[in-house]
Amino acid sequence: MAVHYPLVHTATAPLAPPITWGDEISNFIRRKPLGAAGALIISVMLFVALFAPRLAPYDPYTPDYGAQFQRPSAAHWFGTDEFGRDVLSRIMYGARIALFVGFVASFVGCTLGALLGVVSAYAGGKVDLCLERLMDILLAFPLLILALAIASILGPAVQNVVVAISIPIIPRAARVVRASALSVKENRYVEAAGSLGASGRRVVLQHIVPNVMAPYIIIVTAQLGSAILTEAALSYLGLGTAEPTPSWGLMLSGSASAYAEKAPWIALFPGMAISLAVFGFNLFGDSLRDALDPRLRRKG
Amino acid sequence: MGNYLAKRLLLIIPTLLGVAAVVFVIMRVIPGDVALLILGGDQAGHIDKAQLAAMHHQLGLDQPLLTQFGVWLWGVAHFDFGTSLWTGRPVIEELVGRLPLSLELAILATIVSVLLAIPFGVLAAARRDTWIDYLIRVVSIGGLAIPSFWVGILIILLLVIYFGWGPPLEYTPPWIDPWANFQQMVWPVVTVGYRYAAVTTRMTRSTLLEVLGDDYIRTAWAKGLRERAVVVRHALRNAMLPVITLIGTEFAFFFGGPVVTETVFTLNGVGRFVVDAVAHRDYPVVQALVFLIAFGFVIVNLVIDLTYAWLDPRIRYR
């Protein structure tokens, strides 16, 4: 015998279509046009850096003494420098150094700082006090001065520049992440996890760390631009990467100013590249902070 | 207030000791032998052992680390920062000669940045997400993005090409020839001022936005106050504290901050002194300057905190 199920009428409403990645992206572009512009700039830079050997029209290292100080032309879009090297090719290869140093220094510095910040906030008491004082002391040094002092001892090389730039970033990240970890720590669920017998390690990794990811991401993006700028400044002062490595800051130093009257393009284009890269990261970081920081969300 | 002042002054001692220790650690413990660098730079293999030992002794590097630290601290307490390896003159003497220039640059650039930053920051916050806000944000983010040494190079380039003007080599103090001083300082001030105006504008905008979301602002609107009264009288006043801190901090950083700008404009200030000392591997000078710049920063910070406590009684009793 067939069973007759009663026909049940439930109220139905059309479901909103699931939000796809495409929607998310178009939403971001619409609501944060400046941030989207920043993301575009970063993507282009990353592309150029990754495919520099394919994209660059000339070799960035080989001097061509027959082609010194050539004006920007169809053959050399951004002209050539005092060794006859193609400025555009050097800028393309320079993107590799700038982005590498920027990403690694910012990531290493912020991660170490964030770890210290979380530990400091969770441990509290004497540990917190000591770490806080240490961070205060490190913050008393201007970023560039501290990087300069460290770089001067380590000598000019890419990996030394990364170290010199990441160390001053540590206290800056530690302070931000500690503040946010302190407020997370006050939440009931952290207390609950503790009373259920979770180990300190588990509380920190499972409950506190995921909740301080937003400020962590904000500080990483915020420091990216400044790391790139610091690398350029160090190289400009002769303490960053050494010749013949094509670094944007290095391209502006010495010869660029010396030949500025004769060949202004040598100084013009690398500066534009630095500005554009940092500009892109700052635009993106700014919008990201606006989107992630609840205090800046529009109220009411 | 008296108690607070005493407490803050006492707290500064461990901070300064810490600063001295950090400088010492950076300069002595990180790999690299100062004596080797002074004697032969990179051809480390060719240096005579006796010569090296003599240099170690001369620099006091053959003493235990703690003794070295003690000796250095004792000198610092007496304003004796050693002598420059490059010029042979006491570091403090060299420094005093360069201080007026850096101080003038710091004061003028701070004035320029505040005059630009506060009105534009307020405007951007009050017109959030309109084209005015976007324009101000783009210009101020640009100020952070454009390296000041590049701005300096471009300014010099334009001045050289169009006016045949090159940066003078000697600093003329304003009390000797104000016009010559103005000509010399105006471009560095613009270069540094733009950058710091950018930082301050962004800070003003974001703190003001935070305050504008508060309940009492809604009350002020509900009372029917005009926008000007709400934004300037109610919101801006409460948004100013972090901005004041930032301005003070910037001022402190100016002593050592415009390192690159001073180099570009060949201004013989404190920042340039650091760069020259690093280039000449003049370690006593680098050590002294890094310490003194941090010292200046700690002092300015103390002054800011005291101003805070004076402005806002709640801080004193916390």
A153 vs B30, B210, B301: nearest CB: B30
Smallest Cα–Cα separation from B145: which of A23, A278, A84, A58? A278
ipTM of the complex: 0.80
- Smallest CA–CA distance, residue B203 to chain A, in Å, is 12
Write down the mean pLDDT value for chain B. 81
- Both B76 and B118 in one domain: the answer is no
Q: Is residue B48 part of a domain?
A: yes
Q: Tokens 């001053």 belong to which residue?
A: A168
- Both B11 and B103 in one domain: the answer is no
Q: Is residue B200 part of a domain?
A: yes
d(CA A13, CA A2): 31
Give the range of the structural domain holding residue B172, as residue numbers without chain letter: 99-268
- Both B197 and B127 in one domain: the answer is yes
- Indicate which CATH number applies to the domain containing B136: 1.10.3720.10
Q: Is residue B252 part of a domain?
A: yes
Q: Is residue B113 part of a domain?
A: yes
pLDDT higher than 70, residue B251: yes
Q: Is residue B121 part of a domain?
A: yes
- The reported pLDDT for the residue numbered A43 is 92
Q: Is residue B152 part of a domain?
A: yes
- Residue that is last in its domain, among B53, B84, B115: B84
- The reported pLDDT for the residue numbered A277 is 92
- Residue that is last in its domain, among B45, B60, B84: B84
- Both B256 and B199 in one domain: the answer is yes
Q: Is residue B243 part of a domain?
A: yes
> Chain B residue with minimal CA distance to A234?
B260
d(CA A223, CA A220): 5
Higher-pLDDT residue of A276 and B246 is A276
- Smallest CA–CA distance, residue B130 to chain A, in Å, is 12
Interface probe, candidates B23, B38, B136, B146, chain A, greatest A C-beta count within 10 A: B146
Q: What's the pLDDT tens digit per position in B37-78?
A: 666 655 555 667 777 777 777 777 777 778 888 888 888 888
* Contact between B19 and A137 using a beta-carbon 8 Å cutoff: yes
- The reported pLDDT for the residue numbered B135 is 92
B257 neighbourhood in chain A, CB within 8 Å? 142, 144-145
- Both B227 and B116 in one domain: the answer is yes
- Both B69 and B125 in one domain: the answer is no
Chain A from 16 to 75: CB within 8 A of any B CB: 33-34
- The reported pLDDT for the residue numbered B112 is 92
Percentage of chain A beyond pLDDT 90 is 18
- The reported pLDDT for the residue numbered A102 is 93
**Mean pLDDT value of segment A73-96:** 81
* Contact between A145 and B18 using a beta-carbon 8 Å cutoff: no
- Both B67 and B180 in one domain: the answer is no
In angstroms, what CA-CA distances link B282 with A157, B27, B35, B61, B279? 20, 11, 11, 15, 8
d(CA B313, CA B318): 9
Per-residue confidence at A300, pLDDT binned at 50, 70, 90? very low
In angstroms, what CA-CA distances link B40 with A154, B34, B54, B119, B281? 16, 10, 14, 55, 11
Chain A from 110 to 149: CB within 8 A of any B CB: 133-134, 136-138, 140-142, 144-146, 148-149
Write down the mean pLDDT value for chain A. 83
- Smallest CA–CA distance, residue B262 to chain A, in Å, is 11
**Mean pLDDT value of segment B177-199:** 85
Q: Is residue B69 part of a domain?
A: yes
Number of domains observed in the structure of chain B: 2
- Both B69 and B115 in one domain: the answer is no
A136 vs B15, B145, B259: nearest CB: B15
Q: What's the pLDDT tens digit per position in A156-209?
A: 788 888 999 999 999 999 988 998 888 888 888 888 888 888 888 888 888 888
pLDDT higher than 80, residue A67: no
- Both B64 and B176 in one domain: the answer is no
- Both B174 and B247 in one domain: the answer is yes
- Both B259 and B129 in one domain: the answer is yes
Per-residue confidence at A299, pLDDT binned at 50, 70, 90? very low
- Both B68 and B129 in one domain: the answer is no
